[in-house]
Structure 1
Amino acid sequence: MTTVDDLLNLLVLDKISDTEFNGESKAIGSPIVFGGQVLAQAINAASRTITNKRVLHSMHAYFLEAGNLELPITYNVSLVRDGGSFSVRRVTAHQKDSTIFILSASFHKKEDGYNHQVTMNSDIKQPEELLSWTEMREEFGEALPRGLKSFLEIKRPIEFKPTAFANPLDPKNLPPKHHVWFKLKGDINGLDLNTKQQILTYISDYNILTSTLNPHASKAHWGNTQTASLDHSMWYFRDFDFSDWLLYATESPSASGGRGFARGNIFTRNGELVATVAQEGLIRPIKK
């Protein structure tokens, strides 16, 4: 995948019935299905059962089993409730006889109300000052560890620019935070809010667990740590525009027992808070 059109082709599911949909998978550098893909496809399935123009405002999901890249994924939607203001949907994802994922999503009618938000850190470097993943690969090339080099060589429909990252050639522990700018590749004109939320959900599973490894970066890295998303929650606050860079500011309050917890805020460049994400992930040291 190289552009937003490729990503949309992945996220928009084939309809089997009014409440059942099929999806395919694309690898992003892991031997299993990317969690962000399943999250976004499940949101696509849930949203297609909403007929009253309500807008997604929150979702909560659990990853139960690793997805097989070679098998289609079937999404079944349960119409839990359509109330006066909110509609709730439950989605289960299956491969053959296994349930690999469950999600609950809530949609809200448009209303006026109070408005406030936290402030984005004004000291963050702007994306024009930073190297993208693509530029890192081109600049450091053969000096990168093989696994990291292979990961960065994969073509993606999103460009990422971290404000800082662990140096694999001089590993040192870092604060439990990670900030990364991101932007879509390709023509993003004409995307409705529902579609933008699905794309944002896909992107939200990238980078978030980095903040859980940063405090242990002197000894822990992606090559010697087994990682996997265990659960994922997201709250959607405001409409936004994908034509400019957005900032994903994450932090990890705690890690213990082989699990790391992280939360993140997604801001527009001018500091408007678009969404908040929370995730617990497996960060298990690989024993030799």
Structure 2
Amino acid sequence: MTEFEVGSSTRPSTPPPRSGPSNLDLTPEQVKRIEINRLKAKAKQREREQTSLGTSYTNANNKRPLEVIPAASGSPTAPKPEAKLKRDSRLGKYFDYDLSKMVNSKGGFLLEDGKDMNDELRAKERERERQRAMQAMEPPVFLNKESNPKCNECGSIDIDPTYKTVFRCLVCNSCKNEKPEKYSLLTKTECKEDYLLTDRKCHGAELRDQELMPHLLKANPHKSTFANMMLFLRYQVEAFAWKKWGSPEALDAEYERRVAEKKKKRNKKFEEGLKELRRRTRETVWQRRKDEEHKHVFGQVERDPDGTSRQICHECGFSDAPSHQMESSQPSDALDLEKIDVNLYRSKHLWVPRRSRGVFGGQVISQALVAATNCVAPEYGLHCYFLLSAAPTPILYTVDRVREGRSYVTRAVRAQQNGKIIFIMLCSFQKPEPWQPVTQLPLPPHVPNPDECELIYERSVRLISAPDVDPKVKSYYEDYISERRSSFLSIKRAGVHTSGDGVKYWLYWYKVERMPVASVAMQKCILSYVSDSHFIGVASRTAGLDSTKEGAKRNSMTSDDFNCGDWMLYVIYAPSIGSGRGVVHGRMYTQDGKLIAVMTQEGVVRADVRAPVPASKL
């Protein structure tokens, strides 16, 4: 057996060097290169053996090697090719085109040889460029002055080329800017709405006739994709409009006729729609009304001091007795409330002054304050603010406990009639702090004492006894005397004081007759009743009018040491009147000059005049 055959059964190895003499003499560099090539060949052979063995080959730890299996391998663990992306159904049907590989096939048409479509486009573009360049060129100026066009206004040869080309109007830039009433540009909308010119895309449209009404096209400033603006020269539009309608007055008459006709058509369309809605919902509305019918549930019979009996519905407050029109003879009756539930009260007696739109506002304020005072501790003072007036039907007062604080307590009172809120008041009660500094406005100078003044009731009796009194004035004073005859409130007018700056102050003395012994809180409620008398009327007297309507009012009690049974001075003036509104400010003093309350109210003060007629649009 030879040496090669013995070694074939084992792993190949490098044979030992031959012992015999060799005819080849190698240099050290050649020997080194041969050894390197031999090691590279062995490494490649080892790699091929590992690839052929696959997963059956294990490493030194008896595990399969963590090498990447080629994709061409038949092993089940070989990596699979990536799946194609699924098409999103929301994109719908679409086709992919590679524009870089597309070839212009002429759309199936046969074109002449040597003729390209791009050449025609380039020729058209060059022609457009030439025309734009010619339009941008300034008009030529002749050496002979007589040959140059001149401005129609000043004779200048500096003519605006746009006006000359488009509108065939010879005018220079200076005259165009100095006379906008003649040479300004009007939009198509202004021509249609102000001058009633037509723009329909049909035969006879005036604004579409270039010969009749030349116009200038400009890009729309609102959006580039909108249609171009059509600008017309004002004096050309007016000349055509006067020729069409006859005169500016005839144009205004036609405009008013069209507006009235348009309004009539709009109202007719609305009425037809409303009639159709009623026809379709007639049965539903009838059923709803039937379901909302209210049946009164009356309580026990109550008798008033005058012997009148009445019953009140506990749900809506309706009374079967006629509403009271006379003022109470006692302040306790005017402020009396019936407690229905916690934070819920109802009025018992309401006074509607003669020739008045509703209940006396001071009574609503005082009753609301009584309801709010019943829901707070007695050591708190109060501030109040009210908005609306009331009707002469029983009023339900609901008190909301808004805030409970150490120094301030807030209550909101809502007055309701027939399920609707007709009065809102916000009360802020405060504990008195007498140790804090006190400042106040003094009394006006030269105020007469109450003994020196005449009761307004007696003054009214004296005025109607005059022989030459006007019948209307006499009727008014008779009504006033009849309702004040049983009133518990005595009023004396102390005159009108004019300050150094010309402000008029109306002075009144007030006193509550038959004043019972009452707490501080009840004194404030009675004072709020008094504060609404002769108050907002000062605004109309200051403006020389006799018509006012009450609005928002704010009362602020500044003192707890007063008695409504003593004479109190009411100082009233109107600091601001204008635009149909008037603001009235009042201060209430005791007889010795102590400020006890401050009142402010805003109301409607309007004269019997009409607004000016709007001038013509032209």
Would the TM-score normalized by the shorter structure come out above 0.5? yes
Once residues 458 and 543 of structure 2 are traced to their aligned partners in structure 1, the CA distance between those partners, rounded to angstroms, is 26
**2:363 corresponds to which of 27, 37, 43:** 37
Shift in alpha-carbon separation, 1:72–1:286, aligned structure 2, 3 A: farther
Asked whether the equivalents of residues 32 and 68 of structure 1 are also in contact (C-alpha less than 8 Å), the reply is yes
Deviation of 1:232 after TM superposition, in Å, equals 0.9
2:557 is aligned to: 236
Once residues 242 and 10 of structure 1 are traced to their aligned partners in structure 2, the CA distance between those partners, rounded to angstroms, is 15
2:374 is aligned to: 48
Once residues 54 and 179 of structure 1 are traced to their aligned partners in structure 2, the CA distance between those partners, rounded to angstroms, is 32
Once residues 244 and 109 of structure 1 are traced to their aligned partners in structure 2, the CA distance between those partners, rounded to angstroms, is 25
CA deviation vs aligned residue, 1:134-191 (integer Å, no higher than 9, x gap)? 11122111536122442243122111111237xxxxxxxx9542110011111x2421
Asked whether the equivalents of residues 212 and 252 of structure 1 are also in contact (C-alpha less than 8 Å), the reply is yes
Asked whether the equivalents of residues 133 and 152 of structure 1 are also in contact (C-alpha less than 8 Å), the reply is no
Asked whether the equivalents of residues 344 and 396 of structure 2 are also in contact (C-alpha less than 8 Å), the reply is yes
Helix, strand or coil for the counterpart of 2:576? Answer: strand
2:342 is aligned to: 18
Once residues 246 and 213 of structure 1 are traced to their aligned partners in structure 2, the CA distance between those partners, rounded to angstroms, is 23
Asked whether the equivalents of residues 176 and 214 of structure 1 are also in contact (C-alpha less than 8 Å), the reply is no
Once residues 116 and 46 of structure 1 are traced to their aligned partners in structure 2, the CA distance between those partners, rounded to angstroms, is 28
Matched, 1:136 2:459: yes
1:151 is aligned to: 480
The sequence identity of aligned pairs, in percent, is: 25
Q: How does 1:21-170 map to 2 (within 5 A)?
A: 21-23=345-347, 24-29=349-354, 30-50=356-376, 52-63=377-388, 66-69=389-392, 71-111=393-433, 112-142=435-465, 143=469, 145=473, 146-155=475-484, 156-164=487-495
**2:520 corresponds to which of 187, 193, 206:** 193
TM-score using structure 2 length: 0.41
Asked whether the equivalents of residues 412 and 427 of structure 2 are also in contact (C-alpha less than 8 Å), the reply is yes
Helix, strand or coil for the counterpart of 2:462? Answer: helix
CA deviation vs aligned residue, 1:225-247 (integer Å, no higher than 9, x gap)? 2x222011011111202232100
Once residues 343 and 398 of structure 2 are traced to their aligned partners in structure 1, the CA distance between those partners, rounded to angstroms, is 6
Once residues 261 and 229 of structure 1 are traced to their aligned partners in structure 2, the CA distance between those partners, rounded to angstroms, is 10
Letter in 1 for 2:552: D
2:607 is aligned to: 285
Shift in alpha-carbon separation, 1:233–1:138, aligned structure 2, 3 A: same
* Unaligned segments of structure 1, at least 5 residues: 166-173
Letter in 1 for 2:421: T
Helix, strand or coil for the counterpart of 1:285? Answer: coil
Deviation of 1:287 after TM superposition, in Å, equals 6.5
CA deviation vs aligned residue, 1:250-282 (integer Å, no higher than 9, x gap)? 111011122210111100011010110000112
TM-score using structure 1 length: 0.86
2:213 is aligned to: none
Question: Which of the two has greater helix per residue?
Answer: 2
1:182 is aligned to: 510
Shift in alpha-carbon separation, 1:2–1:89, aligned structure 2, 3 A: closer
- More displaced, 112-121 or 272-281? 112-121
Q: Relative contact order (C-alpha < 8 Å, sep 6+): which is higher?
A: 1
Once residues 147 and 198 of structure 1 are traced to their aligned partners in structure 2, the CA distance between those partners, rounded to angstroms, is 29
Shift in alpha-carbon separation, 1:12–1:262, aligned structure 2, 3 A: same
Once residues 37 and 139 of structure 1 are traced to their aligned partners in structure 2, the CA distance between those partners, rounded to angstroms, is 29
Once residues 328 and 529 of structure 2 are traced to their aligned partners in structure 1, the CA distance between those partners, rounded to angstroms, is 15
Once residues 189 and 157 of structure 1 are traced to their aligned partners in structure 2, the CA distance between those partners, rounded to angstroms, is 11
Helix, strand or coil for the counterpart of 2:588? Answer: strand
- More displaced, 32-41 or 111-120? 111-120
1:264 is aligned to: 586
Letter in 2 for 1:150: D
**2:595 corresponds to which of 249, 266, 273:** 273
Asked whether the equivalents of residues 543 and 577 of structure 2 are also in contact (C-alpha less than 8 Å), the reply is no
Once residues 384 and 517 of structure 2 are traced to their aligned partners in structure 1, the CA distance between those partners, rounded to angstroms, is 24
Helix, strand or coil for the counterpart of 1:46? Answer: helix
Helix, strand or coil for the counterpart of 1:164? Answer: strand
* Unaligned segments of structure 2, at least 5 residues: 1-326, 497-501, 611-618
Shift in alpha-carbon separation, 1:286–1:153, aligned structure 2, 3 A: farther
- More displaced, 114-123 or 14-23? 114-123
Asked whether the equivalents of residues 137 and 153 of structure 1 are also in contact (C-alpha less than 8 Å), the reply is no
Q: What is the RMSD computed on CA atoms of the aligned residues?
A: 2.0
- More displaced, 75-84 or 143-152? 143-152
Helix, strand or coil for the counterpart of 2:413? Answer: strand
1:7 is aligned to: 331
Helix, strand or coil for the counterpart of 2:375? Answer: coil
The structure with more radius of gyration: 2
Deviation of 1:75 after TM superposition, in Å, equals 0.6
Once residues 91 and 244 of structure 1 are traced to their aligned partners in structure 2, the CA distance between those partners, rounded to angstroms, is 29
Once residues 246 and 141 of structure 1 are traced to their aligned partners in structure 2, the CA distance between those partners, rounded to angstroms, is 28
Matched, 1:247 2:575: no
Once residues 504 and 440 of structure 2 are traced to their aligned partners in structure 1, the CA distance between those partners, rounded to angstroms, is 22
Number of aligned residue pairs: give it.
Answer: 267
Deviation of 1:211 after TM superposition, in Å, equals 2.3
1:210 is aligned to: 537
Asked whether the equivalents of residues 93 and 100 of structure 1 are also in contact (C-alpha less than 8 Å), the reply is yes
Shift in alpha-carbon separation, 1:94–1:257, aligned structure 2, 3 A: same
Helix, strand or coil for the counterpart of 1:136? Answer: helix
